[in-house]
Amino acid sequence: MPKFEINQRISIKGKPGVNGRINFIPPELRGKQFYEIKLDDGTIQSFHEHQLIEEIIATDPWQMFGSNQFESYRNFGLATTLFKVENTANNTISTLKASRTLFKAYLVVKNKKKLIVFAFFKKTLKYLKIRLEDNGVKCEIIHGDIKDRTERIENFRTTPQISILLSSEVGSEGLDLQFCDALVNYDLPWNPMVVEQRIGRIDRMGQESKVINVYSFALKGTIEEKIYN
User: At 74, which CATH number?
Assistant: 3.40.50.300
Q: Is 141 a member of any domain?
A: yes
Query: Which letter, b or e, does each residue of 186-212 get, where b requires 16 or more Cβ atoms within 10 Å of its Cβ?
Result: bebbeeeebbebbbbbbbbeebebebb
User: Are the CB atoms for 24 and 82 separated by under 8 Å?
Assistant: no
What pLDDT score does 89 carry?
29
User: Are the CB atoms for 2 and 207 separated by under 8 Å?
Assistant: no
Q: Is 175 a member of any domain?
A: yes
Q: How confident is the model at residue 166 (pLDDT cuts 50, 70, 90)?
A: very high
Asked whether the predicted pLDDT for residue 94 surpasses 60, the reply is no
Asked whether the predicted pLDDT for residue 164 surpasses 70, the reply is yes
What pLDDT score does 132 carry?
79
Q: Is 225 a member of any domain?
A: no
User: Are the CB atoms for 214 and 10 separated by under 8 Å?
Assistant: no
Q: How confident is the model at residue 74 (pLDDT cuts 50, 70, 90)?
A: very low
pLDDT digits (tens, 9 = 90+) for 24-55: 233 333 344 445 555 555 554 555 555 555 55
Q: Is 123 a member of any domain?
A: yes
Q: Is 56 a member of any domain?
A: yes
Q: Which domain holds residue 114?
A: 2-218
Q: How confident is the model at residue 140 (pLDDT cuts 50, 70, 90)?
A: very high
pTM, full prediction: 0.57
Q: Is 227 a member of any domain?
A: no
The secondary element (H helix, E strand) that includes residue 95 is helix 91-110
Strand order in the sheet with 211-219: 18-21, 2-10, 211-219, 182-185, 115-118, 162-167, 138-142
User: Are the CB atoms for 9 and 46 separated by under 8 Å?
Assistant: no
Q: Is 12 a member of any domain?
A: yes
Distance of CA 51 to the CA centre of its chain: 19
Instruction: Name the domain count of the chain.
Output: 1
Q: Is 133 a member of any domain?
A: yes
Antiparallel, parallel or unpaired: β 2-10 and 18-21: antiparallel
Task: Compute the average pLDDT of residues 4-33.
Answer: 37
What pLDDT score does 204 carry?
77
Task: Compute the average pLDDT of residues 1-26.
Answer: 36
Question: What percent of the chain is modeled with pLDDT above 70?
Answer: 44
- For residues 69 and 29, what is the distance between their CA atoms, to the nearest angstrom? 10
- For residues 196 and 172, what is the distance between their CA atoms, to the nearest angstrom? 9
